[in-house]
């Protein structure tokens, strides 16, 4: 399954995945291979990407997700920047 996450400013992630969990407006949901086609709005929250190499968490500000033919596209309004460690 392929996942693409983009914002108006930049591409964030593109690659093969095993599954992805997204923060849907009605609650978080997981997309697995051969998921039924869907379009859903997304709230601020964590997109959890699972690949054969592990798990990556991306905090989004909101957006939409489209799933069709094992292609998942997340159009995020933006990415929450992680606070920088201070010394």
CATH number at residue 54: 2.60.15.10
- Count of domains forming the chain: 1
- In residues, how long is the chain? 87
- Spatial contact of 83 and 62, defined as CB atoms under 8 Å apart: no
Average pLDDT over residues 51-66: 96
User: Mean pLDDT in the chain?
Assistant: 93
What is the predicted pLDDT for the residue at 82?
Answer: 60
What is the predicted pLDDT for the residue at 80?
Answer: 86
Q: Please report which confidence band the pLDDT of residue 79 belongs to, taking 50, 70 and 90 as the band edges.
A: very high
Average pLDDT over residues 66-84: 88
What is the predicted pLDDT for the residue at 43?
Answer: 97
Interatomic CA distance for residues 29 and 20, integer angstroms:
8
Q: Is residue 54 part of a domain?
A: yes
Q: Is residue 44 part of a domain?
A: yes
What range does the domain containing 55 cover? 2-76
Q: Is residue 87 part of a domain?
A: no
């Amino acid at each position: 399954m392929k996942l693409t996450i983009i914002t108006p400013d930049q591409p964030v992630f593109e690659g093969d995945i095993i599954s992805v969990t997204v923060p849907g407006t009605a609650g978080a949901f997981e997309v697995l291979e051969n998921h039924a086609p869907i379009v859903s709005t997304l709230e601020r929250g964590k997109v959890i990407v699972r690949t054969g190499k592990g798990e990556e968490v991306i905090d989004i500000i909101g957006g939409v997700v489209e799933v069709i033919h094992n292609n998942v596209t997340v159009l995020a309004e933006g990415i929450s920047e992680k606070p920088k460690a201070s010394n």
